[in-house]
Structure 1
């Protein structure tokens, strides 16, 4: 029986999201005849983890659904074993990249990929703790409805089972590598207050993630569609398009990858940087690997801690670091687009060594563009006043360090890409350590 991994990373209380994820797992097992490994990676505080454990332990048994809740100790034990088996040099540094002390959207996604490989899963389906499903007629609209039956199939064979196809002839024989949709509701990035306070500052700041050589019109178009997802229109009926999936049309809270993609290339494990987990969707698109874009958008909402002073400062730092990462990522994305299908080997798989070289080359870029980005943020935030103005003190004090960290993040990413395939293979051999941790920590497993 084919196995798939339905994963939820969290560092906050989300028992409702865990229960909803279980309903989606049960749906997939029932409708697609697959064994679903539902994995919750829990980095929350002990009292919150206890609530999550109680939620998992209270779930009713369902055929072909296996539930695992892994805290960071369990994750670290698995990673330590996998890194040791791989024989890779600088194991301590690799472990820090995989499980850093701090928030890393990319690192937790990479852990999901390795755990899925260890569990023998064919695909990874990722959701987030600050989102929920839309419904129609009282029934939740699970995204896995479009994901589970498409990933791993020859793209041309799906043409009759989707609403429309934009496949080129050259793409029809390739494996479907990605399936996803976006979100409805609040902006994916918590910056709507900036737009309310000063639309011009909002435009200037958001446009910072565009390549510097874009025209003003291109930047305006980017700002208009950035972080807005699919808007606010509720789900009415299914629509799925087979073809190349535009990264601007999907979100990491609502995405699935075939193993042929995530076992070849990881995502950026940068600390305190929003958007660091989006790299793989760009690589898939640039290489011409087909996918399914559907419209079962997830509902996005904000959790209360973002609105506290401490949460605000932490989030704004992640937002600023996102812009600094774009100096390098825009260069890599442009080079991947130019490379096109040459990013694929004879077996139609991503060439990790090519992507690693692109990342390493980008670290030689002049950082003056990033100094300009910090200046634009600082000027705009001082104009906004209040806690935005206070946040500029952080940018002033840490400016040089942030510039260096943005470059180091890409250097470390290149190193991880080079190490990735040995890590994936070692993870399969470390599966026993993962199962031991399941048992030791009382994870619930039903077959």
Structure 2
């Protein structure tokens, strides 16, 4: 029986999300004849973990749904076993890249990728704890429906299960590597307040993630598209498009991957938003088929972001995201130029090429990032209030932030080079015990 991994990484209280994703796993098993492994990677504090344990225990027993609820200790034990078996260089650094003591969107998803391989799952389907499903007539609209209609199938076969196809016929024999959608609701990046206070400053802050040499018109077009997801229109009826999926049209709260995640990991950058979007770009640039559907998830902000500490932490992550783009824009340019040269003769992504592009980018002059910080500082001081406090914080840590942005890319190259041995070791290590299951 085909196995899939439906994963929920979390570091915050989300019992309602656990119940909802449990229902999605049950839907997948009942409608597609698969075994759904619900993997909850929990980095919450002790009290919240206990709350989640109760939420998991409350999930109904469903045939062919297996639940794994792992705290960081269990995740670390698994990773140590995999790293030891893989015999990779710098094992302690590798463990730190996979399970850092700071927030990392890429690292938590990388753990899901390795555990899915150990569980024998052929695909990974990711959701987020600050997301909800839309519903029609009281019934939730699960993205896994479109994911399992197409993911992993040859494109010519997947074409029968979508609304339309824009795929070049010569790519019809390639397998669908990604199925995804986006979100409706609040901006994916918590900068909506800036837009309300001063639209000009909002433009300055958002345009900083574009390559510096872009024209003003190109930057304005990017700002118009950025972080909005699918807008605010609610779901009405299904639509799915087979083709090369525009990275701006999907979000990591509503995504699934086949094969590509076993070839290249996500950048394990810490305290940086956007570090988990790399594979979306890779799938597109390598001309791997994907499906874009419209079962958008509802995005909302948790209360933690509204606190002073949460606000400062989030704005710092946004600043690090801007600094990371010096390197990622370089890598993306080279991936786009390489195109199908990113693939080997079997149609798999070549990790060595990605690692080389990443290493090349670390030699870039940091002057562009210095100017990014200067412009961000000016924007924050124009806004005043708590934004001026952010400016003071970033100014006090400027050199560290610049160094970390480059170091994060060096770490990504190192992890990419080790990814295949880690994947093989995960498979050999074998599955983790289930928290709950029903066969």
Please tell me the TM-score bracket, short chain as reference.
over 0.9
Shift of 1:160: 2.4
Name 2:408's counterpart in structure 1. 409
Name 1:118's counterpart in structure 2. 118
User: What is the number of residues matched between the two proteins?
Assistant: 439
Name 1:34's counterpart in structure 2. 34
Kept in 1, the 8 Å contact 2:149–2:161? The answer is no
Shift of 1:157: 1.4
User: Which has the higher mean CA deviation after the structures are superposed, 206-215 or 17-26?
Assistant: 206-215
Kept in 2, the 8 Å contact 1:105–1:274? The answer is yes
Kept in 1, the 8 Å contact 2:64–2:437? The answer is no
Kept in 1, the 8 Å contact 2:281–2:332? The answer is yes
| Cα distance in 2, alignment partners of residues 270 and 67 from structure 1 | 28
User: What TM-score, normalized to structure 2?
Assistant: 0.99
Kept in 1, the 8 Å contact 2:242–2:290? The answer is yes
| Cα distance in 1, alignment partners of residues 97 and 359 from structure 2 | 16
Name 1:365's counterpart in structure 2. 364
Structure 1 outlier segments of 4+, above 6 Å: none
Name 2:279's counterpart in structure 1. 280
Name 1:8's counterpart in structure 2. 8
| Cα distance in 1, alignment partners of residues 242 and 37 from structure 2 | 26
Name 2:171's counterpart in structure 1. 171
Kept in 1, the 8 Å contact 2:163–2:241? The answer is yes
- Map 1:7-406 → 2, pairs under 5 A: 7-258=7-258, 260-406=259-405
| Cα distance in 2, alignment partners of residues 312 and 408 from structure 1 | 25
| Cα distance in 1, alignment partners of residues 177 and 386 from structure 2 | 43
Kept in 2, the 8 Å contact 1:67–1:446? The answer is no
Stretches of structure 2 lacking an aligned partner (at least 5 in a row): none
| TM-align CA RMSD | 0.7
Deviations 1:264-322 (A, max 9, x none): 00011000000000001111110000011000000000000000000000000100000
Stretches of structure 1 lacking an aligned partner (at least 5 in a row): none
| Cα distance in 2, alignment partners of residues 285 and 114 from structure 1 | 23
Kept in 2, the 8 Å contact 1:94–1:416? The answer is yes
Shift of 1:59: 1.2
Name 2:437's counterpart in structure 1. 445
| Cα distance in 2, alignment partners of residues 212 and 288 from structure 1 | 26
Shift of 1:15: 0.2
